[in-house]
């Protein structure tokens, strides 16, 4: 009797498992990944604090992010200022909030822009093939033959490196890898039976790309989005180090870290906090991307329960 009951329970569990869609199954797998969920929670908290904090500080607390106080320079954390003050007496905590809003905006927006370009170009290249694919791949190979940092330096030198311009530059130069990944996926998908069946009933190209190809590339897109966002924070920090990022007094984590290197002895905390936030944020993005990669890997579907 106990054996029969166990068999029935296993049969019911198997039926429920089979009835799940791929995305529901992937979500269950991701939610069970504690490290990735902790990283996602940390990203959500950082984003909320950085976006909600500055308006509250400005409108409720009446704090000006650029207000200086030369008599209160290099104050260590806890002495009237939560995270201390910088070389001009400005509150480090408030500037980190403002800087986080700018840095995260650059990461999120530029990542979405680059992914969008990469997906559109990759789908067109893989679907049409032939001369269209050859032309696009020739352009990509030419673009990749020039070091990305060199292109970034040229673009940042020619145009004023405001946050908006930096987003456009990073988005315009960061789509190549995503394009290659999507193109490879499309080359495999367009010869599948469901694509041939859709063509046989008269489906148009744009309908096939939107309804059949795009949904099947979403796993690659989601993973690329998270990993690109982390990489863009590092790129913005690197450009700030070279003096070609967003210029002060507009704070970003990158230019705050760059400015603090000249005052390391007087104010060690000026290096610690922006460096810690950059490291923590990039690590969280990579952990979320790694968790999504495992959850969305079709080869893992059979092994999930």
pLDDT at position 293 is 80
For residue range 1-34, what is the model confidence (pLDDT) as tens digits?
455 555 545 444 444 444 456 667 777 777 888 8
pTM: 0.80
DSSP 229-261: HHHHHHHHHHHHHTT-SSPTTS--HHHHHHHHG
What residue has token string 């269950």?
28
State the pLDDT at residue 80: 66
Whether the pLDDT of residue 64 is over 70: the answer is: yes
Q: Report pLDDT for 83.
A: 80
Q: Is the pLDDT of residue 242 over 70?
A: yes
pLDDT band (50, 70, 90) for residue 42? very high
**Mean pLDDT across the chain, nearest whole number?**
80
Of 204, 226, 248, the residue nearest 293 (C-alpha): 226
Give the CA distances from residue 258 to residues 116, 203, 239, in Å, rounded to whole numbers and listed in that order.
31, 55, 10
Cα dihedral 121→206→23→45 (10° resolution): 50
Mean pLDDT of 262-277: 82
State how far Cα 130 lies from the chain centre.
32
Contact 136/142 with Cβ under 8 angstroms? no
Higher pLDDT, 238 or 112: 112
Residue 227 has pLDDT above 80, yes or no: yes
Percent of the chain with pLDDT over 70: 87
pLDDT digits (tens, 9 = 90+) for 182-202: 888 888 888 787 777 877 887
pLDDT at 147: 78
pLDDT for 98-108, tens place per residue? 888 988 988 89
Average pLDDT over residues 210-214: 82
- State mean pLDDT over 213-235: 84
User: Long-range contacts made by residues 34-39, C-beta under 8 angstroms, separation at least 24?
Assistant: 35/287, 35/291, 36/287, 36/288, 36/290, 36/291, 36/292, 37/291, 38/287, 39/283, 39/284, 39/285, 39/287, 39/288, 39/291
pLDDT tens for 162-181 read 788 888 888 888 888 889 88
Looking at residue 17, its pLDDT comes to 45
Considering only residues 140 and 57, tell me which one the structure prediction assigns the higher pLDDT.
Answer: 140
More confident position, 43 or 265:
43
- Residue 80 CB contacts under 8 Å (≥ 6 apart), including other chains: 72
127 vs 188: CA distance, rounded Å = 10
Torsion sign (Cα): 11, 17, 20, 21: negative
Q: Which residues contact 192 (CB under 8 A, 6 or more apart)?
A: none
pLDDT at 45: 92
Structural domains of the chain sorted by starting position, each given as residue range(s) with its CATH number in brackets: 104-305 (1.10.3720.10)
């Amino acid at each position: 009797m106990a054996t029969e009951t166990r068999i029935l329970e296993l049969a019911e569990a198997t039926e429920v498992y089979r009835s799940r869609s791929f995305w529901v199954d992937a979500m269950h797998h991701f939610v069970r990944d504690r490290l990735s969920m902790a990283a996602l929670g940390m990203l959500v908290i950082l984003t909320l604090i950085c976006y909600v904090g500055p308006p509250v500080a400005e409108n409720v607390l009446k704090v000006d992010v650029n207000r200086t106080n030369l008599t209160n320079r290099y104050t260590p954390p806890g002495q009237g200022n939560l995270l201390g003050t910088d070389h001009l007496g400005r509150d480090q905590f408030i500037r980190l909030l403002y800087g986080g809003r700018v840095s995260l905006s650059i990461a999120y927006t530029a990542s979405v822009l680059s992914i969008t370009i990469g997906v559109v170009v990759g789908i067109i290249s893989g679907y049409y093939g032939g001369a269209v694919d050859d032309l696009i791949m020739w352009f990509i190979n030419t673009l990749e033959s020039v070091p990305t940092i060199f292109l970034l330096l040229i673009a940042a030198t020619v145009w004023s490196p405001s946050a908006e311009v930096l987003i456009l530059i990073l988005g315009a130069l960061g789509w190549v890898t995503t394009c290659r990944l999507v193109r490879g996926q499309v080359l495999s998908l367009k010869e599948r039976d469901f694509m041939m069946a859709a063509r046989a009933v008269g489906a148009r190209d744009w309908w096939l790309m939107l309804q059949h190809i795009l949904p099947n590339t979403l796993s690659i897109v989601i993973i690329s989005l998270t990993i690109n966002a982390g990489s863009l924070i590092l790129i913005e920090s690197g450009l700030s180090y070279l003096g070609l990022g967003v210029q002060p007094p507009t704070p970003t984590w990158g230019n705050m870290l760059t400015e603090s290197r000249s005052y390391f002895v007087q104010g060690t905390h000026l290096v610690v906090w922006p460096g810690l936030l950059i490291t923590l944020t990039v690590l969280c993005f990579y952990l979320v991307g790694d968790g999504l990669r495992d959850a969305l890997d079709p080869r893992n579907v059979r092994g999930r329960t």
